[in-house]
Structure 1
Amino acid sequence: MPIKFQGNIFTTLVLYLKSDELELINYALKKKINESPSFFKNAPIIINLSFLKKELNWNKLKKIILKNNFIILGISECFNLSLKKKIIDSGFPVFSNTKSLIKDKKIKFKKKFYKSIFYKNTIHSGQTIYAKKSDLIITNNVNEGAEIIADGNIHVYGKLSGRALAGANGDNTRKIFSTKLFSELLSISGEYCLIDSIPKNILNKSAQIYLKNGVVQIKKL
C-alpha cells in the first residue's frame, strides 16, 4: 500500500479567546510572543471559542492570528452556528473538545501502576520520545526543542529545557519531576503552562509539576 493511516501524538497549543475585542486580542498576542519569540514563531494552534457568547468577525480574527505568525490548524468549541459555517466555508475544520467528551462520558482513571522506560542519553532538539503506558525516566538532559511524552509520570535527572507532557492518555494524577527545571512547555493531561509561568526561584532548580483543580502547579522538591 502506498499510504497508511495511523494514530499519533502531537503537541498542539490551544488559544482560548476570552474576549471578542480584536484589538485587545492582537495586543495580547504580541505581548505573549515578545516573552518567548522562538517558541511561538510559526507555532501551530487550535483556536478555542468556548468562552465567547456572541459572534465575532472571523475574517479579521483570522488575519490577526496569521499576521502574528501562527499556523491555524482548526477551531474548537464554536457554539455559534452562523460563525461555525463561516469558519468551515473559509476552509478550516471545527473540532469538538476531546476533554469535554471524556467528561461527558464520565471516564475515570483507576489507580495505575506504570512500567518504566529509561533513557541515559541526552534528548536533542527535534527528537520526540513517547513512553506509551509507561513512566519515562531520563538520566540526562532534555535540550530545548526536544519533546518527551509519557502516559505515566516523567522523571528527568538532568536539565529539562524542552517540552514535557505527562498523563498523555488523560490521567490527571500523573506528575513531572526534574532536577533542573527550565522547560519551554509543561503539560499534565492536556493542561499546560509555558516557561514564563515557572517561578523565578524555581528556574534551574529541582521541582515537581502536577495538577490541582485543573491548574498546573509547579513546586520545589
Structure 2
Amino acid sequence: MKAAFNVKSARLDTLSVQLLTDDLTLINYELKQRADRFGNLRNMPFTLDLQNLTSPARIDLGKLFALFAQYHLRVIAIRHSDASWASLAKQHNIAFSILPEEQANSRVKAVAEAFSPQTADANKEKFISSVSANALPTLVIDRTIRTGQQVYAEKSDLIVLGLVSEGAEIIADGNIHIYGPLRGRALAGADGNKDTRIFAQCMQAELVSVAGIYRIFDQQLPAHLDRRPAQIFLQNDRLVLSAIHAH
C-alpha cells in the first residue's frame, strides 16, 4: 500500500514577543497602541518569550493567550531559560523551548575577562582560538530567494548575492548581508544575539527583525532609505534603520 505521508524533520521559525511585564492591563494597552502595525502578521505563529518574568505562578497564561488572540496574534509556544516553566506550557497544551544564554552576553563577558589588565597574553590567545573554533563558515547564497522559500544560516552570518523576493524569508543567527534588492523578510540574530545587524544594498523589505524585535513596512520608506543601502540594528532594544553612505 502506498504511504499516505512521510515524517521529516523541519525547523519552524516564529517571531518572538518578549514580555517585559505580567501586568495584563499594561500589555492590553500596548497591544491596542500597536494594533495598526501588525498588518500581515495577523494569524502568524508567535513564540512568547517569558525570560524577564520570574515566577510561573504569577502569570495567568490562559488570559494572556486570550488577550493576544483578540488582536489576531497566535501564540504557539513559550520559552524561558528555566525548565520549570515547561509544566506551565504543558497545562495549556503548547510547546516549550529552553532559551539558552544569549551568545552576545556570554561573549561580552568572555572578552572582558580575557582582555582585562590582570589576564596574561597567553589567555588572550586561548580565548581568540576558542571563539574561532566555534564559529561556522558564512553561508553564501548566489541565487534569487523566491517567493515562499526560506533560507536559514544556523550559528553563522548569511550573505545573499541575489534578490530576496516578496514572500521569501531569510534568517540567520548572525548578521545578514543582501547585495540584491531585499523585498521579503530578513531576520538576523535568530538565536537572540542583539549585536547582529542587517545590511541591505536595496532596501524594500516587507519585514525586518533583529533578535526577535521586528518592524513591518506597509508604507513606502522615506526617500533616503527607499531602495537605497541601509542597515538595521538594535539600540536600547529599539530597532533602528539607518542609511549607509559611501565615503
Mapped to 1, the partners of 2:148 and 2:212 lie a distance apart of: 22
The question of 1:110 aligning with 2:111 is answered no
Which residue in 2 is equivalent to 1:146? 168
My pick for the range that moved more, 44-53 or 166-175, is 166-175
Which residue in 2 is equivalent to 1:17? 19
> What is the deviation of 1:162?
1.4
Mapped to 1, the partners of 2:65 and 2:241 lie a distance apart of: 34
Question: How many percent of aligned residue pairs carry the same amino acid?
Answer: 28
For 1:48-59, list aligned pairs within 5 A: 48-53=49-54, 55-59=58-62
Q: Which of 205, 214, 219 is matched with 1:193 structurally?
A: 214
**How big is each residue's C-alpha offset from its partner over 1:127-185, in whole Å with a ceiling of 9 and x where there is no partner?**
11345656422333x23321123466533233312112346577777643212213233
Change (3 A) 1:109 1:145: farther
The question of 1:156 aligning with 2:156 is answered no
Which residue in 1 is equivalent to 2:124? none
Change (3 A) 1:33 1:4: same
Q: Which of 137, 160, 180 is matched with 2:202 structurally?
A: 180
Change (3 A) 1:205 1:213: same
Letter aligned with residue 61 of structure 2: W
Change (3 A) 1:27 1:139: same
Q: Which of 28, 52, 63 is matched with 1:60 structurally?
A: 63
* 3-state SS, counterpart of residue 208 of structure 2: strand
**What residue ranges of structure 2 are gaps of 5+ in the alignment?**
111-129
Which residue in 2 is equivalent to 1:70? 73
Letter aligned with residue 48 of structure 2: I
Q: Which protein is richer in helix relative to its size?
A: 2
> What is the deviation of 1:28?
1.9
**How big is each residue's C-alpha offset from its partner over 1:100-142, in whole Å with a ceiling of 9 and x where there is no partner?**
5896798874386845634343x333111345656422333x2
Mapped to 2, the partners of 1:151 and 1:84 lie a distance apart of: 24
Change (3 A) 1:91 1:53: same
Letter aligned with residue 77 of structure 1: H
Q: How many residues align?
A: 214
**What residue ranges of structure 1 are gaps of 5+ in the alignment?**
none
Mapped to 1, the partners of 2:243 and 2:44 lie a distance apart of: 30
* 3-state SS, counterpart of residue 117 of structure 1: strand
* 3-state SS, counterpart of residue 24 of structure 1: helix
Which residue in 2 is equivalent to 1:42? 43
Which residue in 2 is equivalent to 1:95? 97
Which residue in 2 is equivalent to 1:129? 151
Mapped to 2, the partners of 1:147 and 1:137 lie a distance apart of: 12
* 3-state SS, counterpart of residue 14 of structure 1: strand
Mapped to 1, the partners of 2:141 and 2:64 lie a distance apart of: 44
My pick for the range that moved more, 205-214 or 49-58, is 205-214
> What is the deviation of 1:94?
3.3
**Contact 2:162–2:181 at 8 Å: present in 1 too?**
no
Mapped to 1, the partners of 2:181 and 2:206 lie a distance apart of: 12
**Contact 2:81–2:101 at 8 Å: present in 1 too?**
no
**Contact 2:16–2:213 at 8 Å: present in 1 too?**
no
Change (3 A) 1:66 1:102: same
**Contact 1:15–1:47 at 8 Å: present in 2 too?**
yes
> What is the deviation of 1:12?
1.4
